[in-house]
Amino acid sequence: MPVDVSFVLNGKPVTVTADPLERLLDLLRVELGLTGTKEGCGEGECGACAVIVDGELADSCLVAVGSLQGSTVETIEGFRETERFRVLEKAYADAGAVQCGFCTPGMIMASEALLRKNPRPDAEAVREGLSGNLCRCTGYGMIVEAVLDAAEKGSGSW
Amino acid sequence: MKPDAVILAAGLSSRAGANKLLFPLGGRTVIEASIEPFLSTCGRIIVVGGARFEELKSALARLSPGVEVVLNDDYLYGMFSSVKAGIRRVGSDRFFIHPGDCPLVPASVPERLLSVRADIVLPVSGGRTGHPVLIDSRLIPEILATDAGSNLRAFIASHGFETVEVDSPGILLDIDTRGDLEKAERNLSREQGRTVADALARSVPKVDNPEKLSGRAGYIADMPFPGMLHAKTVRSTRPRARILSIRLPEMPGGYFTVDRNDIPGRNRVHVILDDQPVFAEETVNYIGEPIMLVVGPSKAKVLELASAVRIEYGDLAAVFTVEEAEASGAPIVGGENNRFAEYRYGRGEATRVIGEAASGVSGSRVFADEISTGYQEHVYLEPQGLVGLYDRERDRIEIHGSMQCPYYIRNALAIAFGWEPGRFRVVQTCTGGGFGGKEEYPSLLACQAAAAAYKTGKPVALILDRAEDIECTTKRHPARIGFRTAVDPEGRVTAMEVEVRLDAGASLGLSGVVLQRTMFTAPGVYRVPNLAVHGVALATNSVPAGAFRGFGAPQATMAIEIHMDHIASSLGMSPLEFRKRNMARKGDLTSTGGTYAFDVPLEALAERVIASSGYRAKRVEYASACLARGTTAACNGLAPLRGIGMSFFLHGCGFTGSGERDHIKAKVRLARREDGTVDILAANTDMGQGLLTTFRKIVASALGLPLERVSFEKPDTDRVPDSGPTVASRSIMIDGKLLEDAAIELKSRWDEPGEIVVERNYRHPDRIRWDDSSFIGDAYPTHSWGVNIVEVAVDPVSFEITVTGVWAAYDVGHAVDERIMRGQVEGGILQGLGYATIEVMEKSGGRLKQRTMTDYVIPTSLDAPPIESSFIDNPYPDGPMGAKGAGELPLVGAAPALASAVENALQARVSRIPLTPEYLMKAVRHAG
């Protein structure tokens, strides 16, 4: 039974009529055309579909649309318009942290979620903060360097 | 008073083609690099231009503001006229004269010259005078009065000069050709002792960073095609059975099924033997084998319909393991007596030598091992997926999607449809990882999606979900590799017999070729005078195994390296000493009797990682720490056991033997457009490894153009020639070289008007000799090399392994881009460490036990150890910028080094991977 759900998506209020059990991932990708969020496993293991819901990193394949009433949802499409994204974008490029790119939007959202809570993390905290996001290409070292670099260069942004 | 510097930049660059002064050189241009050493020591920099003056002036205005650029109208009269034009402007009491194409002078050289008081001072290196020259301004009138037909060199010689020894070969090198530039940089790099030598290997930002970071990159599941239908595959639930009947649910309007009757040509996927059906026929041969598609507009409805298809099976006797496949009386499920492929090769008299050693006559000993390795799943983050389209008007089929090899797909479609290949168009979309998994498997998906599009007349998306991808697509072959090795009293291997068994699954696919690489790699990096290798790829009723980064070599390398450790320990030698005694050197025979024609830098690679890891001391310390603890029962509550281990390895670069010459026949094109940009037309794919960037870098460097003026789009078979597949660490070495050669030709024709297209076809180097029937000769054009050291901590109670450090040194020829190469290394190592530890995939009754990413785990950021990697520069003459194969090598050496470290920690032998806690517990009990 479809229901109306109102929430804030990338800073703008939206109301959708959807099956409450529909996955947020499908709402974003199929209904709203926000394809920057990726589906890698559909079971909350890989983090390719990570978005930020009410300030917390969440795998959108595990979030039911019906649970979003009154929530705030941020995806890569909104975050890429910010200054903090530009800091992370440069740091990722400088570190060589992007290979196939499929994990990248989720990894960026995880980096943002981490830096909001801990603006000056050490390497261990970065590894912990990204541990829900799998990457099969890089071996993670260059991604960790990117986040540390962003924290330093973007000091004061988070 | 600071001296002035006159930089001569008026020449025509006639030998280098393009304006050599603007060649890129480590992120700047040759002229900038030539000016740089004078910036701190000199007052004014006077650059004298002539030919292409405006180009020079605007480049310098942008790049080096503050530099004076003056025009020498008489530049055609030669360099001396530019000297005169320049020194007329000098206002200091002394001045330098320096060519604008001499970019490798250290800033210390001008300073050293200034320390000498003389009319004319020249630097000397290696007994030869070089640049720049320092001249007293009192001589200016005399120089200006010298006859125009003379030159500065003659003036200096007649006047007399002092010299300063600077020991910088850079002062001798000016740049007339691209070759000079490369040579010069390498010389300089050696002098400076840099790890990765050539400045051209410095890193550029990857060209696809912006679209990938912002989420705008188009992967196939992100792409809308108007009117697109969704497809879901109905698959076999039986390992081997006859299909007795298929009952379909009632299909609403607009919903279809697509099966073998919808394949217009041959219902076969073209790989090598075409032994795999596109859709199952009378029988199914593995769980997950595709039987039909259900296709329609609503994805949810399609899933519902697909799950309502009822299939009645009549089960047939099946084989699940290689032992069962080989047993007498086993049901024949594929190939000849369940052998899809069987080969032998070798030399000398291995059996006789081993027999004599076993009898103990010569003081020699024989050591035996059997090492087994498990499945490995690729887990590219983007699951497999393609969209098929049918263009009714032009009667053509299009395939768009995630893939490594567009032309493999086109050729497979031509056979499945019985059409001319030109009636298919295959377009790669942004591909989220491949690792070999998207080499041959997309050919199957493409035939299915194309048949569905042809039947329905609409675009059809066939995109796998993760569980389907894990259960039904190819994986790394499980292997069992046995050795019998004779070693003489001096610790030298005299003979080796190797038996290789691969579990190929239900169809041959690429297994024969994988088997060859396992067999050719089985003796590792060692000299084996008498060798006999036998291998079989066996048919089982399991999902077909296929290409995976390393392609049979990781299994062989794991086996030989742990075998060598076992022999060393039995002999009471250190693993390092035993390896050094037996490793091959330049000029030695390869496993197949070819020649290691180039440097074998194992010694140098080993030195690096041994020194930085502290291997020697740790190896002894960790062993005695373990032994001191006694049995594991006493280990309860104790700190982790630590261990350190090493591996020496090689990887044969590119296709085996004559593959490039006889089968692939690669072709590439470069097109210079009217606007001066250059388009790379090649079928190679970037699946994350960086080819979109590295190919452009190779071409831009050879042309002396900025990277932005060279473009390389994802391949579309309507646009690009067949450059071969993106596999086997071949793209840069083979196609990159063709592109570099094409760029050199294009440069020589640069002044021709209009569009220029240069094509290059693969030419087999004469030195590579190979006999495909006997497996004798150079199995690979060359080899890349590596030495790895891995350090672990093993919990003595849970037997959980934590990797605490990795030290890795490689020879990949010359790295085209350091940062991209580091990414390949770290990603490859972590895949190898996962392969050896936590990546467990087993089967039971033909069904995989691990079918999701919850069950089949790959390393996370918390599992990734610190990795210290370095490269030695060993340029390969047949590769672009000296590069050879690099993509697979880093995966190959990690697992055996880890296994060796675990043996060191536990003082117990292991003979398989993955090293699960349950297995280690047994290994320790056995050792105790």
State the residue for tokens 């720049």: B132
Whether chain B has a CB inside 8 Å of the CB on A19: the answer is no
pLDDT-derived band at B27 (thresholds 50, 70, 90) equals low
Is A147 among the domain residues?
A: yes
The count of structural domains within chain A is 2
Q: What is the pLDDT of residues B497-521, one digit of tens each?
A: 999 999 999 999 999 999 999 999 9
Two structure tokens written together for B529: 């005078």
pLDDT-derived band at B41 (thresholds 50, 70, 90) equals confident
Low-confidence ranges of chain A (pLDDT < 50): none
Structure pTM?
0.83
**pLDDT recorded at residue B15:** 53
Strand B385-391 versus strand B460-463 pairing type: antiparallel
Give B-chain residues touching A28 at CB under 8 angstroms.
none
Cα–Cα distance measured from residue B309 to residue B331, given in angstroms and rounded to the nearest whole number: 29
Asked if the model's pLDDT at residue B238 lies above 90, the reply is yes
Q: What is the pLDDT of residues B538-578, one digit of tens each?
A: 999 999 999 999 999 999 999 999 999 999 999 999 999 99
**pLDDT recorded at residue B167:** 77
Cα–Cα distance measured from residue B739 to residue B684, given in angstroms and rounded to the nearest whole number: 12
Q: What is the CATH number of the domain that holds A136?
A: 1.10.150.120
| Strand stretches in B85-228, DSSP E | 94-99, 120-125, 128-129, 133-136, 162-165
Is A26 among the domain residues?
A: yes
Picking from A62, A78, A94, the residue at the C-terminal end of a domain is: A78
Q: What is the pLDDT of residues B669-700, one digit of tens each?
A: 999 999 999 999 999 999 999 999 999 999 99
Using the beta-carbon criterion (under 8 Å), do A137 and B212 form an inter-chain contact? no
- Between A and B, how many residue pairs show a Cβ–Cβ distance under 8 A? 167
Give B-chain residues touching A41 at CB under 8 angstroms.
466, 852-853
Q: What is the pLDDT of residues B576-611, one digit of tens each?
A: 999 999 999 999 999 999 999 999 999 999 999 999
Residue A24 and residue A55 share a domain = yes
Nearest-Cα distance to chain B for A71, in Å, is: 23
Q: Tell me which residue in B210, B432, B866 faces A100 most closely, judged by beta carbons.
A: B432
**pLDDT recorded at residue B64:** 60
**pLDDT recorded at residue A104:** 98
Chain B CA closest to residue A135: B381
Nearest-Cα distance to chain B for A54, in Å, is: 21
pLDDT-derived band at B192 (thresholds 50, 70, 90) equals very low
Residue A7 and residue A62 share a domain = yes
**pLDDT recorded at residue B885:** 97
Report chain B's mean pLDDT, rounded to a whole number.
Answer: 93
Contact B86, B8 (CB under 8 A): yes
Asked if the model's pLDDT at residue B626 lies above 70, the reply is yes
Whether chain A has a CB inside 8 Å of the CB on B436: the answer is no
Is A158 among the domain residues?
A: no
Mean pLDDT of B231-256: 98
Nearest-Cα distance to chain B for A39, in Å, is: 8
Whether chain A has a CB inside 8 Å of the CB on B866: the answer is yes
Q: Tell me which residue in A36, A46, A141 faces B867 most closely, judged by beta carbons.
A: A141
**pLDDT recorded at residue B828:** 98
Instruction: Report helix angle B441-456 to B406-417, nearest 10.
Output: 50
Picking from A78, A96, A111, the residue at the C-terminal end of a domain is: A78
Give B-chain residues touching A80 at CB under 8 angstroms.
213-215
Q: Alpha carbon of B674 to those of B18, B202, B515, B677, B753: distances in Å?
A: 16, 30, 49, 7, 8
Helices (H) and strands (E) in chain B, counts: 26, 37
Is A131 among the domain residues?
A: yes
Using the beta-carbon criterion (under 8 Å), do B827 and A36 form an inter-chain contact? no
Share of chain A above pLDDT 70, in %: 100
Residue A86 and residue A56 share a domain = no
**pLDDT recorded at residue B21:** 82
Give B-chain residues touching A93 at CB under 8 angstroms.
205-206, 209, 213
Residue A102 and residue A48 share a domain = no
Residue A42 and residue A20 share a domain = yes
Residue A95 and residue A57 share a domain = no
**pLDDT recorded at residue A126:** 98
Using the beta-carbon criterion (under 8 Å), do B433 and A136 form an inter-chain contact? yes
**pLDDT recorded at residue B53:** 82
Chain B CA closest to residue A94: B205
Is A122 among the domain residues?
A: yes
Is A52 among the domain residues?
A: yes
Residue A48 and residue A108 share a domain = no
**pLDDT recorded at residue B187:** 55
Using the beta-carbon criterion (under 8 Å), do A127 and B864 form an inter-chain contact? yes
Cα–Cα distance measured from residue B806 to residue B808, given in angstroms and rounded to the nearest whole number: 6
Q: What is the pLDDT of residues A89-111, one digit of tens each?
A: 999 999 999 999 999 999 999 99
Chain B CA closest to residue A41: B466
Picking from A78, A96, A121, the residue at the C-terminal end of a domain is: A78
Share of chain B above pLDDT 90, in %: 80
**pLDDT recorded at residue B182:** 67
**pLDDT recorded at residue B10:** 85
**pLDDT recorded at residue B749:** 95
Two structure tokens written together for B308: 């309502």
Asked if the model's pLDDT at residue B711 lies above 50, the reply is yes
Of residues A12 and B198, the one with the higher pLDDT is: A12
Q: What is the pLDDT of residues B469-497, one digit of tens each?
A: 999 999 999 999 999 999 999 999 999 99
Is A28 among the domain residues?
A: yes
Q: What is the pLDDT of residues B334-374, one digit of tens each?
A: 999 999 999 999 999 999 999 999 998 789 999 999 999 99
Give A-chain residues touching B869 at CB under 8 angstroms.
none
Mean pLDDT of B756-781: 95
Domain range holding A146?
82-153
Cβ under 8 Å to B: A residues 104-123: 104-105, 108
Is A21 among the domain residues?
A: yes
Residue A107 and residue A69 share a domain = no
Q: What is the CATH number of the domain that holds A27?
A: 3.10.20.30
Residue A116 and residue A72 share a domain = no
Q: How many CB atoms lie within 10 A of CB B54?
A: 9
Asked if the model's pLDDT at residue B183 lies above 70, the reply is no
Q: Tell me which residue in A40, A88, A98 faces B212 most closely, judged by beta carbons.
A: A98
Residue A96 and residue A73 share a domain = no
Whether chain A has a CB inside 8 Å of the CB on B858: the answer is yes
Chain B CA closest to residue A126: B861
Asked if the model's pLDDT at residue B236 lies above 90, the reply is yes
Cα–Cα distance measured from residue B673 to residue B656, given in angstroms and rounded to the nearest whole number: 37
Residue A40 and residue A101 share a domain = no
Give B-chain residues touching A142 at CB under 8 angstroms.
822-823, 826
Residue A41 and residue A106 share a domain = no
Q: What is the pLDDT of residues B792-830, one digit of tens each?
A: 999 999 999 999 999 999 999 999 999 999 999 999 999
CA atoms within a 13 Å half-sphere pointing along the CA-CB vector of B237: 7
Q: What is the pLDDT of residues B892-922, one digit of tens each?
A: 999 999 999 999 999 999 999 999 999 999 9
